[in-house]
Structure 1
Amino acid sequence: MHGKVVRQVSQVPSVLAFNQTSPDANRFGESIRILLRWKGSIYKTIWKDLLVYYALYYLLTILHKYVLDDDGKKAFVALAKYCLRNSNSINLMIMLSFFTTTALQRLFTMQTMVPGTAKVITFFIMSLKTNLPEGPIIVEQFARWTVLAWILTFRVVCKPLRALFPDMISLQVAGIIREKERCILERVETEHNTTPRALVVIDWMILLLKETAIHNRFTEKSNHLKVLDILMSFKKSCGNTIKFATKNIPYALIQAAIIVVYTYGLVTLMARNFEEAASSGFMEGIVNFFPVIPSMQFFIFLIWLNFGRVAVNPFGTDEDDIDVKLLLETHIQDSYRLGNLYTQELDHIFGAMVRQPQKQYNEASSLQTAAPI
């Protein structure tokens, strides 16, 4: 099972991608290196908007200079004066501050509630009695269901993972679910059951814990409740991820921020001081007709808007989004590695280790305790 899925997601970067660190602030020239970075940069985000903006600006300039007649030029100049007077009256700071703050708070909440699988699997394995004949089968079942619940959780909120596993058949082909399990999960959808499939799989895990306790497979009876408590925390994280990620920021707020920013951009396209340009020299006229400051303000607001929009959905396809495919690869590898711990011992890794006899160990401990400081 694990080999098939790992090969299927092997197209994603290595786990070493997690080791990307932030640049050092005290290194000379580090700020210049950051400014020249293209991947994940603001230039890559807005270069198309930049081309469209300047293309429209100079099209309007050509329209005014060579196409319009005298009456049309007068109307154009009047509109430009009106836009120039009111270009600073659009207060974008409050709107964008509220939007980006809301998006960042939501991003932080979603990142902190991302469920993990290692704790659930490890706790279950360490709670079982050793050398059970059916132990490896139970461990494999529990670990596989844990990964399956994780996948089904993020299929709801993550488009790249939904593209990787578009249906239950794809999960069966990858070896993540069995045919009978697939039929049950598909029946959940056909019966119009609103329970997320991930929570259905967690219900199977709860029943497996119950059966394990009934057959006295735990080392202690209390382990049943301890593992159940860990599993319920995992279930809560899965449910919160689905609930919070699918409950998006209201589109009205996103639309309002987009409308305000692009309206400001359209205003700056027309905001021109023809009187100052006419009374100044050649170079001054070029400067007045080149929208450096207005366009800079607009693109600062546009970058701010795009940053908020990226933060709205951290499980998307943007370069700064959480790489869910890479997370899946690590969870699958962890489940396989942790599952093998049930049949492993420390001697299997380090060989026969020379251990100090208990009597000598107790004598050495007592001597160290009695030794003067």
Structure 2
Amino acid sequence: MTISYNGDISSSRTFSFLRIICRWKGSIWKSVFVELLSWVIMYYVIMASYRYFMSEYQRRLFAKFAQYSNATIDYLPLTFMLGFFVSIVVDRWKNIFANIGFIDDAAIYISAVFLGQEEKPLQMRRNVLRYMVLTQVLVLRDISLQVRKRFPSLDSIVNAGFMMPHERQLMDVVTDKYNRYWLPIHWACSLAQQAKVAGYIAGDAQTSNVLREIIEFRSCLQVLCNYDWVPVPLAYPQVVFMAVRMYFMLCLICRQFLYPGDTVTRTVYTMIDLKIPVMTILQFIFYMGWLKVAEALLNPLGEDDDDLECNYIIDRNATIAMYLAGPCNGVVPEQKADCFSFGFTPLYSEEASNQTIHPLIGSAATIMPDLVSNTRMVPKNDDDTSSTYSGNTVRNMKNMFGLRNRFKSICNKKKRTVKPTGSKRYDSNTQSTQITNVSGSVPITLEPENLQPSSPTVGMASNITLISCGLDDDKNERVI
């Protein structure tokens, strides 16, 4: 039932959108037609009652209620509720479709590692895949109405060939109150283990991979069961469905044309007597169509036009599984030299040969052509703007915290008098620190030139003298 329209929008031409808008099956027109027709009929019934059958007093009361409804109708947050609700429903729809269960990967791998063309390995290989399809049938017939109509009972599954009569008897032996989806999966895993013991599967790694493919297929079906078991909380769709429909029920009254003598204040609905409420009809189509999208996607396993083709998926999985397990198993074409052995030249049809192809080229590849040959390569300049930026940042921080004047007064002094009292000497040989006291206080004048290195040679000194400085005293003298 899925409606495909990708062929109609293969190119974005000027009027290509008309191909989609003019379609009926699965369209917005089909979704809202009945409700829109009912709404229009009710609108004209109320219009006739107001204009021809009400007294003057009744018209005034009707006009007051219409004006009040029109002033307060925007209290219903339709856009927010619909947008959030549709996003939740679309996420559920994507997850259900991603876990619908395609058997291709499992069938290809089982056909590749399940060896043997004799009757017994062939039958075991087919049965493993058939049990997987049987599990899918049992799950979908409980959560999809279209599959339920196809297989109304277990006998119909036996008649369709997905389950044998003796397998039905084994399934009837399990009389628990829970679903028995796990039983065919158990048969498939046990059969794969028996094939390993019989030597039809090469090793333990291959057997483990076969079991993993079976379990992953079962996990996808379990996701479908979980979504069917726990839907969106009932209160949320109730709120959204009622809000949209109550909104347009109020529009039946507040969007009527009102006679100027019946209204207290002049509104847009008393200016022009439009016999057809064009803007309200457009609003109904868009909002109700938006709601119908959510209603259709809320259960993608139903019978709507855009619901998933569950019966097709079952038929496809069964066909592919039987072909890979039987006629196509181990069949490889005869290996011959192909036409590309002596060079590969891509070929096109005459119609497609004139099409423009945009190859994979980097966005910066054509900015500077490769014709530049005299490019001089030099070392990188050490002057980095990051150091300047860091220095400016430190100065700004000093100014911000009020330390500018303190640093300025210290840096502007040409000479500084300090009193040496002691020093710490670090011996690199013994890796210990020795403290030497200096007797007496001899003023030492620190000139800028005294701070320059005496030799341009840079090396590692064996003895390093560390000077610990105290705080400034009243005479701007530092004590060492």
TM-score normalized with structure 2 length:
0.64
Structure 2: segments with no counterpart, 5+ residues:
338-480
Q: Which amino acid aligns with 2:258?
A: F
Q: Is the alpha carbon distance of 1:237 and 1:249 closer, same or farther for their aligned partners in structure 2, counting shifts above 3 Å?
A: same
**1:257 Cα offset (Å):** 0.3
Q: Is the alpha carbon distance of 1:331 and 1:149 closer, same or farther for their aligned partners in structure 2, counting shifts above 3 Å?
A: same
The aligned runs of 1:1-373 (5 Å cut-off) are 21=7, 23-188=9-174, 190-192=175-177, 194=178, 196-271=179-254, 272-275=256-259, 285-287=272-274, 289-341=275-327, 344-346=330-332
Between the two proteins, the alignment pairs up a number of residues equal to: 332
Structure of higher RCO (CA pairs closer than 8 Å, 6+ residues apart): 1
Q: Deviations over 1:301-331 (max 9, x none)?
A: 1111111111111111111111112212211
Specify which structure has the higher proportion of strand: 2
Structure 2 distance, partners of 1:47, 1:267, is 19
Structure 1: segments with no counterpart, 5+ residues:
1-11, 356-373
Q: Is the alpha carbon distance of 1:219 and 1:179 closer, same or farther for their aligned partners in structure 2, counting shifts above 3 Å?
A: same
Structure 1 distance, partners of 2:217, 2:74, is 50
8 Å CA contact 1:81–1:273 kept in 2: the answer is no
Specify which structure has the higher proportion of helix: 1
8 Å CA contact 1:149–1:201 kept in 2: the answer is yes
8 Å CA contact 1:157–1:242 kept in 2: the answer is yes
**1:340 Cα offset (Å):** 1.8
Matched position secondary structure for 2:90? helix
8 Å CA contact 1:143–1:335 kept in 2: the answer is yes
Percent identity, aligned pairs only, is 20
8 Å CA contact 2:121–2:195 kept in 1: the answer is no
Between 213-222 and 32-41, report the one with greater CA deviation: 213-222
1:361 match:
none
Q: Is the alpha carbon distance of 1:277 and 1:234 closer, same or farther for their aligned partners in structure 2, counting shifts above 3 Å?
A: farther
2:428 match:
none
Structure 1 distance, partners of 2:261, 2:19, is 38
Structure 2 distance, partners of 1:218, 1:342, is 18
**1:284 Cα offset (Å):** 6.2
Q: Which amino acid aligns with 1:26?
A: S
Q: Is the alpha carbon distance of 1:354 and 1:63 closer, same or farther for their aligned partners in structure 2, counting shifts above 3 Å?
A: closer
Structure 1 distance, partners of 2:31, 2:115, is 55
Structure 1 distance, partners of 2:295, 2:283, is 19
8 Å CA contact 2:112–2:329 kept in 1: the answer is no
Q: Is the alpha carbon distance of 1:84 and 1:133 closer, same or farther for their aligned partners in structure 2, counting shifts above 3 Å?
A: closer
**1:86 Cα offset (Å):** 1.8
| CA RMSD across the alignment | 2.7
Matched position secondary structure for 1:307? helix
TM-score normalized with structure 1 length:
0.81
Structure 1 distance, partners of 2:308, 2:7, is 15
